[in-house]
Structure 1
């Protein structure tokens, strides 16, 4: 039966992040693990992740990660093993076995599952069943603020058996956003008992590395997140600088690790002709520092980027994707209506060089997010840390200086 830990115990938090694509799930889990372990140095946190770039990130004291065999999405929407050459069923079974073995040996007191109640292709179910039978761990489902359109999400969760799993296994649900902006479970047929155990935490505030310095020359930061689906936005920014030789300030473009090599080579050739007005790099694990130093930001509308622009209070122009999910467009449109961001909408504004030029030129005159007062906007990490300590029975936090800080 779940219970409080003794004051001298070493509590353990396990975070599951399936990460079949992109950086969002891993970065969110890393932020949560960091905040929880910094709230009390007795806590150890372990992240299970499928991200192929997990090894490029640093982790603070008391936080480590296990890399699951990777999978990748094919053009027809199916999945295949990233490297092993195994059938996807074999890869999923291998991942499921590793997850269950980790759960049995790490024996967590708290499990925080990111977004997918059953895990990738149901791989989490054996571990959830084991934990449910043992009745020791607090099982938490963590959801970002927006998942997808309600009807699309309802069909997806029905296909995956996610509603049944959410109701059966999880003790609480944490939504890393605000109900006033969006309820990610809208359209799902969840019981009132489940909804009564939902907490809207607020967004997850980020901080820059204290020992890093951003570039000294004025710049706007251009980031497509992981980059795998950001070629269109990058192309639009480059078109703007190509069309207007007086467009300033200069742009610092971070492609992201998943932009294809062929597409990037074409972009590099175009950047080289812009006489230093655009500087491009492939990947930087310390994006928080670059955001802190920027005059403004042009980005896609992913969850982590949204948290960062709010945290560093930067004027931002969001260019949301609308395929395969409407998630980014929903988030950006709600945030724009509150005065937090400006959105470049394909239907309203057009994805043209002229529209991007106007958006970039407008950044210095655009209000910062702090100009729109939204109560509890960035309380997420504090709420999560306090709730975790309460579940663990750690009423008197025990902290120590961190040798490595990770936002």
Structure 2
């Protein structure tokens, strides 16, 4: 059943300072919603430098705000080094507020950062609350180590502001996998707003396949955005260099945010190995994962959803600092038997990495152990949005069921 809403509008915010995870998650949700609801228009505010490199469905568009990047030490800087970070944040804040005032959304969904980067969304949240917009905070199923998240949020009074500003908190995972606020002092008023909607299922586009997809069997090595993925690619190359019996073909996707010097070095080293094909970026990662015999990754949220969606054997080498999100997710998934995991120092041992790569294609897929761990996030979100829209202010929205 498809519902039609006349001129319904959803605004989404994705701060995007490191990697592609936030934008890709927002885009996935937006595409699912416009498929389910005709007449719905969605606008994504994004700081991703390559937001325009992705395809967007009809009635989904984006507003690009000046880019801020996160450094390896966790600090932020303007992408344009000639513009002060403070000035960049002022521009971003102004654009976000003006977009909200002009677009007049019925629902505003904020991805991961409750107040936005350095608080840049707080003013807009307060404004939209006065006009009756539904305010939703969307959280990954794993945010960070509890002590790190607790310290960060307490320093900025985040929990109290979530309680005061937001109507609902969507958790993009099932409660039996992980609670993103575990270990924090969560008021009951915030707990009562939380909906564990489930993982966000991915699917292959009906459009033309990726031009990078190899013919025949291959394993896929992906670093996500690639900003800190050079070590993983180096470890894979090192494994091939040290084990002549490692002959499975591999497609390596470096990621668009990998520094140019590291990209050149890895492409030069990997180009000497006949079993490796190395590319920089593909905006159709779903197709590459769907066609692979197995996946080697750092285990960010989106890649993990794709591994589950396409039921692929996976070897995860998680990032362990400055955030522990990937490590926590990998350990939990390994406990459940869904993936194999190597810590970075283990993956750096070439023969150990080679053994793991050789075993990967024959590993049981996640479905063999997943049990009731289903991917229900997108239909659950549509169900919630449909209920909200159906009881919206009379005259603002009308519903026609086809």
TM-score band by shorter chain is over 0.9
Q: Tell me if structure 2 keeps the 8 A contact 1:139–1:170.
A: yes
Specify the SS of the correspondent of 2:283: coil
Residues 258, 398 of structure 1: alpha-carbon distance in 2 compared, 3 angstrom cutoff: farther
Tell me, in whole angstroms, the C-alpha distance in 2 between the residues paired with 1:221 and 1:282.
13
Q: Which residue of 2 aligns with 1:363?
A: 360
Question: What is the CA distance between 1:140 and its match in structure 2?
Answer: 0.4
Deviation at 1:93, TM superposition (A): 1.2
Could you say which residue in structure 2 is the equivalent of 1:250? Answer: 249
Instruction: Give the 3-state SS of the residue equivalent to 1:9 in structure 2.
Output: strand
Partner residue of 2:15? Answer: 18
| Secondary structure at 2:170 match in 1 | strand
5+ residue gaps in structure 2? Answer: 392-397
Q: Do structure 1's residue 103 and structure 2's residue 100 form an aligned pair?
A: yes
- 2:315 corresponds to 1:308: no
Provide Cα deviations, 1:218-255, integer angstroms capped at 9, x if missing partner. Answer: 10000011000111100000001111223132100000
Give the Cα separation in 2 of the matches to 1:251 and 1:8. 46
Distance verdict in 2 for CA 1:38–1:182, change over 3 Å: same
SS where residue 126 of structure 1 aligns?
helix
State the partner residue of 1:403. Answer: none
Equivalent positions of 1:136-147 (< 5 A) are 136-147=132-143
For 1:53 and 1:81, the matched residues in 2 are separated by: 15
SS in 1 for 2:39: coil
Instruction: Describe the shift of the 1:282–1:75 C-alpha distance in structure 2 as closer, same or farther (beyond 3 A).
Output: closer
Deviation of the 1:376 alpha carbon: 4.8
User: CA 1:184/1:8 → structure 2, altered by over 3 Å: closer, same or farther?
Assistant: closer
Contact 1:42-1:398 at 8 Å conserved across structures: no
Where does residue 169 of structure 1 map in the other structure? 165
The Cα of 1:215 is off from its aligned counterpart by 2.4
Larger deviation, residues 308-317 vs 188-197: 188-197
CA shift in 2, pair 1:364/1:93, >3 Å:
same
Aligned to 2:57: 60
Q: Distance in 2 between matches of 1:295 and 1:16?
A: 35
Q: Which residue of 2 aligns with 1:180?
A: 176
Q: Is the CA contact (8 Å cut-off) linking 1:41 and 1:398 kept in structure 2?
A: no
Q: Is contact 1:291-1:308 (8 Å) kept? A: yes
CA contact (8 A) 2:5 2:399 kept: no
Question: Which whole-Å CA distance do the structure 1 matches of 2:347 and 2:18 have between them?
Answer: 28
The 3 A distance-change label for structure 1 pair 326 and 358 is same
116, 121, 124: which one aligns with 1:124: 121
- Equivalent residue number for residue 405 of structure 1: none
**Displacement, 1:160?**
2.5
Contact in 2 for aligned 1:40/1:397 (Cα 8 Å): no
CA distance in 1 between partners of 2:195 and 2:5 (Å)? 29
Instruction: Tell me whether 1:294 sits opposite 2:292 in the alignment.
Output: yes
Residue 205 (1) aligns with residue 201 (2): yes
SS at match of 1:10: strand
Question: Which one of the candidate residues 146, 151, 157 is aligned to 2:147?
Answer: 151
Q: CA RMSD in A?
A: 1.8
Moved more, 383-392 or 106-115: 383-392
Are residues 137 and 183 of structure 1, via their aligned partners in 2, closer, same or farther at CA, if it must alter by over 3 Å?
Answer: same
- Residues 7 and 353 (structure 1), Cα distance of their counterparts in 2 relative to 1, 3 Å cut: closer
SS in 1 for 2:13: strand
**2:182 aligns to what SS in structure 1?**
coil
After TM superposition, give the deviation of residue 7 of structure 1 in Å.
6.8
Output the CA distance in 2 between the equivalents of 1:182 and 1:202: 11
Greater mean alpha carbon deviation, residues 109-118 or residues 385-394: 385-394
Structure-1 separation of matches of 2:49 and 2:6:
33
1:317 to 294, 315, 318: 315
Runs of 4+ in structure 1 displaced over 6 angstroms?
Answer: 394-397
Q: TM-score, normalised by structure 1?
A: 0.92
Distance 1:235 1:388 in 2: 44
Deviation, 1:187, is 2.3
Pairwise CA distance, 1:84: 6.5
Q: Is the 8 A contact 1:240 1:357 kept in 2?
A: yes
Query: Which residue of structure 2 lines up, in the alignment, with residue 228 of structure 1?
Result: 227
Q: Do the aligned residues in 2 keep the contact of 1:177 with 1:377 (CA within 8 Å)?
A: no
Is 1:353 matched up with 2:350? yes
Q: CA deviation at 1:396?
A: 6.2
Partner Cα distance (1:54, 1:227) in 2: 15
- Among residues 377, 381, 384, which one is paired with 1:384 in the alignment? 381
Normalising by structure 2, what TM-score? Answer: 0.93
